[in-house]
A and B are shown apart, each in its own frame.
Chain A
Amino acid sequence: MDFFTVEDLTAGYGKKEIIDHLSFSVDSGCLAGVLGANGSGKTTLLKAICGILPHTGSCILEGTTLEKLNPRQLSQRCSYIPQRSGISIDISVLDVVLMGFNPWLGLLERPTASMEQKGRKALALAGLEGKEQQNYQTLSEGQKQLCIFARALCCEGHLLLLDEPESALDFRFRYQMLERLRRWLSEDARAAIVTLHDPSLALNYCHRLLLLSEGKILGTLSPGTDSLPRMEELLEQIYGQISLARLPARSGREHLVMLREEA
């Protein structure tokens, strides 16, 4: 049985369908990337999976149909990081991270000391050590993304959905975040689906890639095993004329690089 399966998923805004009868599955430990042009349905796909958008079809995580769960049960299994968090009030960074424990707390319960400790650890893991008492509103956009990433880690769900989590991060933190995400996935039976704008990042860190175009799946890639010509052929349908190359870093690890070819 697959760890996470999406079956015949259709969703949109009002009567306009953005994603159209999508089906795919993700294995345990897999970091699945979603690539596509603007408006291809990447964010809609994540919002539909986590039930924020009304949809038809079903999403099954470890044998449980997510559509049958109430918000509390759903958030215990599945965490979501939006492109931008809607937090607009003055609140400390640590308090934002502690929100991640809400699925495990009763209505009137407060986070325990051990949860606070875990929250501090998650902040340190996200690179925000020492900023626990800082006002969330005074963080840079990139730091806010890291803070929300730390909060999602605290939710302890088995499926993590990340919507362009790297969009406000600098070069160093982009790579660090995905490295930490891969490490987090390897610690337990977990999977993550991440939408990305940067194909190079996706090609080097995702185990599997879903290519979306106009709400449909163009194809899937496994960057670790697929041949360069096959990957080029599929990626060109989204990005136009491109070429891929494998370049070794000083460490010896090979990196996939995507270059745009002149038309």
Chain B
Amino acid sequence: MGRRTGAAKVMCVLGALAMAVLFAASLFVGKYPLSLRELAAGNELQLRVFWTLRASRTCVGAVGGFALGAAGFVYQTVFRNPLASPDIIGVSSGASAGAAAGILFFSGAAAVTASSFTGALLAVVIVLALSALDKSGSKNTIVLAGIAVHSLAQTVLMCLKLTADPERQLASIEYWIMGSLNGISGYSTGGNLLLCALCLAVLFPLHRQIILLSGEEGEARMLGVSVGKLRLFVLLTATLTVSAVISLTGLISFIGLLAPHGARLLTKDNRQATMLLSGLAGGSLLMAADILARSAASTELPVSIFTSLLGAPFLILLIRRQTKKH
């Protein structure tokens, strides 16, 4: 398939190496620094920190970032919109409202995760039910239904914030919305990561179909694609992936938008390697941002600050490189 495919493969290898380096760094960097020697020597405190905090947090950073990047590629391709993200069908807003309800009415991180996941799923189900009313199955209907559900979820969130205790609950809601990998433990992550991995295992082999969905509906249909059913399935799977991540981490901005753009600017196409590179870029970005979030200041900072701070200049650099070439 030529020189360009070879270059894309090299970039994927480099992306995987970057992820591996950041994965290792994420395991050992933090308020309580770990050392390989102490871990090998069986230092009990270090082992406990490693297994209960760092390992799960790093896994969520790697898998979550990868999932957000790959799902972003899917959304942008299917909607033929470079600004498409999970927000376009109201997932993030549903997850936020669900998390706020969890913080107000239940206790414990696992309950908030479950509540947020339920909120995200509920948003998707309402969007899909609304769009099913339009028999033509147009993707514009899905976007419009997403905007309606997004507004509805924002209203619910505002109402919940109004009833929240300003000292504790309101701060928790705001902190959740800002996104963080802090407080993630092994007990609450397993199911979500498994769901993420399963959804990604479904999405990657469907890459060729996802590309077919990027054309006009009639054109795709005449290429043998059952457009309505396939689009519904692909979007539902991508949304499940995102829901599984953000219900653990809170809202993480920019990765779903930036990672696919960065990958496309590097490979100049939309092949499966580009989708993989979107995931690798997403995973690297989230892990790098998380390392900075926990080590840049005396208190833990929201991870979205760093995903934007790291991502935006990188994207500008790539765009400048592209415009120079033209």
Interface residues of A (CB under 8 A from B): 47, 50-52, 70-72, 74-76, 78-80, 82, 85-92, 94-95, 99-100, 102-103, 105, 107-108, 110, 132-133, 135, 155
Residues of A within 8 A of B209 (CB): 107
5 residue pairs bridging A and B, Cβ less than 8 Å apart? A52-B217, A79-B222, A85-B216, A85-B219, A87-B214
Residues of B within 8 A of A88 (CB): 80, 214
B225 near A86: Cβ-Cβ < 8 Å = no
Interface 0/1 of B255-283, CB less than 8 Å to A: 00000000010001111000000000000
Residues of B within 8 A of A133 (CB): 1-4
Q: How far is the CB of A130 from chain B (nearest CB, A)?
A: 12
A71 near B225: Cβ-Cβ < 8 Å = yes
CA distance A71 to B205 in the complex (A): 21
Residues of B within 8 A of A82 (CB): 216, 218-219
Which of B1, B4, B206, B223 sits near A102, CB closer than 8 Å?
A: B223
Query: Which of B212, B224, B264, B269 has the largest number of chain A CB atoms within 10 A?
Result: B224
A102 near B225: Cβ-Cβ < 8 Å = yes
Residues of A within 8 A of B35 (CB): none
Q: Which residue of B lies closest to A161 (CB)?
A: B222
* B177 CB-CB contact with A under 8 Å: no
Q: Which of B52-82 contact A (CB under 8 A)?
A: 77, 80
Which of A76, A86, A91, A100 sits near B270, CB closer than 8 Å?
A: A91
Q: Which of B193-227 contact A (CB under 8 A)?
A: 205-206, 208-209, 211-212, 214-219, 221-227
A82-B219, A108-B205, A110-B208 given; A71·B226 CB < 8 A: yes
Residues of A within 8 A of B205 (CB): 108
A51 near B221: Cβ-Cβ < 8 Å = yes
CA distance A52 to B138 in the complex (A): 12
CA distance A107 to B207 in the complex (A): 10
Interface residue tally for chain B (C-beta within 8 Å): 30
A70 near B269: Cβ-Cβ < 8 Å = no
Interface 0/1 of B145-176, CB less than 8 Å to A: 00000000000000000000000000000000
Query: Which of B214, B217, B223 has the largest number of chain A CB atoms within 10 A?
Result: B223
CA distance A91 to B271 in the complex (A): 8
B219 near A86: Cβ-Cβ < 8 Å = yes
A51-B221, A102-B212, A135-B269 given; A89·B226 CB < 8 A: no
CA distance A80 to B216 in the complex (A): 12
Q: How far is the CB of B299 from chain A (nearest CB, A)?
A: 43
CA distance A91 to B227 in the complex (A): 20
Which of B211, B218, B219, B222 sits near A89, CB closer than 8 Å?
A: B211
A71 near B215: Cβ-Cβ < 8 Å = no
Residues of B within 8 A of A103 (CB): 223-224
Which of A72, A91, A92, A100 sits near B226, CB closer than 8 Å?
A: A72
A72 near B216: Cβ-Cβ < 8 Å = no
Residues of A within 8 A of B221 (CB): 50-52, 71, 75
Q: Which of B1-31 contact A (CB under 8 A)?
A: 1-4
Q: How far is the CB of B316 from chain A (nearest CB, A)?
A: 20
Residues of A within 8 A of B218 (CB): 47, 50, 52, 80, 82
CA distance A7 to B270 in the complex (A): 42
Residues of B within 8 A of A87 (CB): 214-215, 219
Q: Which residue of B lies closest to A53 (CB)?
A: B218
Q: Which residue of A lies closest to B270 (CB)?
A: A89
B80 near A90: Cβ-Cβ < 8 Å = no
CA distance A92 to B215 in the complex (A): 14
Q: How far is the CB of B198 from chain A (nearest CB, A)?
A: 15
A75-B224, A86-B216, A91-B211 given; A135·B271 CB < 8 A: no
CA distance A72 to B227 in the complex (A): 11
Residues of A within 8 A of B3 (CB): 133
Q: How far is the CB of B281 from chain A (nearest CB, A)?
A: 17
Residues of B within 8 A of A91 (CB): 211, 269-270
Other contacts beyond A52-B222, A107-B209: 10, CB < 8 A = A50-B222, A52-B218, A70-B226, A72-B226, A75-B221, A89-B80, A91-B211, A91-B269, A99-B212, A108-B206
CA distance A123 to B80 in the complex (A): 26
Which of A52, A71, A90 sits near B224, CB closer than 8 Å?
A: A71
CA distance A110 to B206 in the complex (A): 10
CA distance A132 to B223 in the complex (A): 20
B224 near A80: Cβ-Cβ < 8 Å = no
Which of A50, A92, A105, A107 sits near B206, CB closer than 8 Å?
A: A107
A80 near B214: Cβ-Cβ < 8 Å = no
A82-B219, A107-B209 given; A72·B224 CB < 8 A: yes
Residues of B within 8 A of A102 (CB): 208, 212, 223-225
A47-B218, A99-B212 given; A155·B223 CB < 8 A: yes
A50-B222, A70-B226, A76-B224 given; A90·B216 CB < 8 A: no
Q: Which residue of B lies closest to A133 (CB)?
A: B2
CA distance A108 to B270 in the complex (A): 17
Q: Which residue of B lies closest to A85 (CB)?
A: B219
CA distance A70 to B218 in the complex (A): 13
Q: How far is the CB of B212 from chain A (nearest CB, A)?
A: 6
A107-B206, A135-B268, A135-B269 given; A86·B215 CB < 8 A: yes
Q: Which residue of A lies closest to B269 (CB)?
A: A90
